[in-house]
Amino acid sequence: MLEAAVERGRQVLPGVTLVRAGEPMAALLVVRSGSAKRYSVTLEGAEQIHGFVLPGEAVGLEGFASGRYTCEVSALEPLSYCRVPMRKLEQLLERLPGLRREMLRQLGQALDEAQRLRGELTQSDARGRVAHFLADLSERLARRGLSPTEFRLSMSRADIARHLGLTLETVSRALSTFKREGWLRVRARDISVLRPEALAALGGGCA
Amino acid sequence: MLEAAVERGRQVLPGVTLVRAGEPMAALLVVRSGSAKRYSVTLEGAEQIHGFVLPGEAVGLEGFASGRYTCEVSALEPLSYCRVPMRKLEQLLERLPGLRREMLRQLGQALDEAQRLRGELTQSDARGRVAHFLADLSERLARRGLSPTEFRLSMSRADIARHLGLTLETVSRALSTFKREGWLRVRARDISVLRPEALAALGGGCA
DNA sequence: CGCAAAATTTGATCCGCGTCAAGTGCCGAT
DNA sequence: ATCGGCACTTGACGCGGATCAAATTTTGCG
């Protein structure tokens, strides 16, 4: 059923752009492995990073609004994904009530997360934001069966900073602080979380 | 068709809570007139304001994620709304491909706006955020056929501040600055926008 | 393996916004 | 009409993070 509609996985190299802002939304993309960044480019040419796409997550859901993608998505590592053409998707939605609910669920979740993140970011200070970012990443990795305590950041400090509305220096300082406090081990882009609860306490003030 | 499924409008007074976090999502609510604030309560009891609901907008779409609402929505003014029970909604989605697309479109748009807003807020300074807030409000009012230049804020400065991740003093100062520059006229909660383009320039750096 | 370029860390200084503290004006109650 | 309370405005000051600058590590490549 679903499998039959899905085009065989495709592979791309780091730096390759999967979708561009303004391009018609011809298909739904789901990342199989690797990671990507979602961003839009401001008038001044700066990247505004909306978030990072991990395995199992869909790309460009916000394109449903207008039928066109509203941001760019480009691979941060070698990445494989599968692709469901919109025409196929509509046929499937016609037939499968479960898939309808699933699509609404996914969109609802994306919306919920976007809001929650916005709340976190506007309320917290720099370290709180970085802690939250790490905790969130950790949780999403765990959801995919990967280690929540040992992972490698696929994005640069600058990408993290632009995502959190900070400067890369501030992100670096926050990581150094966490390291000094004994909450993390940091070696370049390799992270070991030693005290997840400390990060969660700083990052998550939500009920 | 749609009209038949919609329960007659209901009215509530200011301060009344329409939906509560954790409550099962039994129906889709759409605001007819008046306005409301969406918020969640942090562990410390502070309100985190996710946004404001204007006429024509739906309440609690993020509830699709889990079948339960994830934030509270309470009326800021006398408010009327209509209500589509979830059971009815599913039946309609079964039969109407157009409504399916419309639901996805609405969710996509909510997602797109949440992301865009997050980007704005994390990148801009205090005046940029307030300018963006006013420009956004103005645009949404215009979309409903209301005046984009003359309106009354239904929310307090404190609500605006918590929404933007600022303090109420800073919001007040931003408004005073805009007034001094001749971009706005401000009398208590009544706003006249004199130079929309100035606000847009400060508020919107997106492509 | 060694070099050059890029990414990251660390340090010093400055400024915007949060905080604390007084006013000022608007609105409802009596 | 007057009073009291609350929302808002305005002012003073300190701190966290942006900015500028330089050292250090990592990575990609010949």
Residues A54 and A134 in one domain: no
* Range name among A12-16, A180-184, B23-27, B119-123 with the lowest pLDDT average: B119-123
B27 occurs within a structural domain: yes
- Give, for B93, the enclosing helix (H) or strand (E): helix B86-95
pLDDT value, residue B152: 93
Q: What percent of chain A has pLDDT over 70?
A: 94
Domain that holds residue B165: 124-203
- A61 residue type, one letter: L
- Residues forming a β-bridge with B45: none
pLDDT digits (tens, 9 = 90+) for A148-199: 999 999 999 999 999 999 999 999 999 999 999 999 999 889 999 999 898 8
Strand partners, B30: B58, B82
- Are A64 and B108 within 8 A, CB to CB? yes
A1-5, A26-30, B110-114, B166-170: least confident range: A1-5
Has residue A87 been placed in a domain? yes
Count of domains observed in chain B: 2
Judged against a pLDDT cut of 90, whether residue B66 lies above it is answered with no
The token pair at A171 is 């992100």
CATH code of the domain in which B185 resides: 1.10.10.10
pLDDT at A8 over 90: no
B175 CB-to-strand C distance under 7 Å: no
B46 found inside a domain: yes
Return the C-alpha torsion angle A74, B122, B65, B24, nearest 10: 180
CA of A140 to C1' of C22 (A): 49
Could you tell me if B90 and B155 lie in one domain? no
Could you write out the DSSP letters of every residue in chain A? -HHHHSEEEEEE-TT-EEE-TTSB--EEEEEEES-EEEEEE-TTS-EEEEEEE-TT-EE-GGGGGTTB--SEEEESSSEEEEEEEHHHHHHHHHH-HHHHHHHHHHHHHHHHHHHHHHHHHHHS-HHHHHHHHHHHHHHHHHHTTS-SSEEE--S-HHHHHHHHTS-HHHHHHHHHHHHHTTSEEEETTEEEES-HHHHHHHH----
Tell whether B188 is covered by a domain: yes
Domain-embedded: residue A110: no
Q: What is the CATH number of the domain that holds B50?
A: 2.60.120.10
**Distance separating alpha carbons of residues B107 and A46, to the nearest angstrom:** 27
Judge contact between A27 and A86, C-beta under 8 A. yes
SS (H, E, C) A141-185: HHHCCCCCCEEECCCCHHHHHHHHCCCHHHHHHHHHHHHHCCCEE
Q: Considering chain A, what percentage of its residues have pLDDT values greater than 90? A: 49
Residues 47-106 of B with CB under 8 A from A: 48, 50-51, 61-66, 70-71, 90, 93-94, 97, 100, 103-105
Would you say residue A1 has pLDDT above 50? no
Per-residue pLDDT of A140-155, as tens digits, reads 899 888 889 999 999 9
Residues A131 and A185 in one domain: yes
Does residue A90 form part of some domain? yes
Residue-wise pLDDT tens digits, B151-179: 999 999 999 999 999 999 999 999 999 99
Same-domain pairing of B196 and B142: yes
Which position has the higher pLDDT, B203 or B185?
A: B185
* Interface residue A203 vs chain B (CB under 8 A): no
Looking at the fold, whether B141 and B85 belong to one and the same domain comes out as: no
**Is the CB atom of residue A172 positioned under 7 angstroms from any atom of strand C?**
yes
A38 burial level (CB within 10 Å; 0-12, 13-18, 19+):
buried
Tell whether B105 is covered by a domain: no
Which are the contacts of A99, defined by CB distance < 8 A and separation ≥ 6?
A: A2, A92, A93
A-proximal residues of B, 25-44, CB under 8 Å: 40-44
Backbone φ and ψ for A190, nearest 5 degrees, come out as -90, 130
Rounded distance between C-alpha atoms, residue A121 and residue A139, angstroms:
17
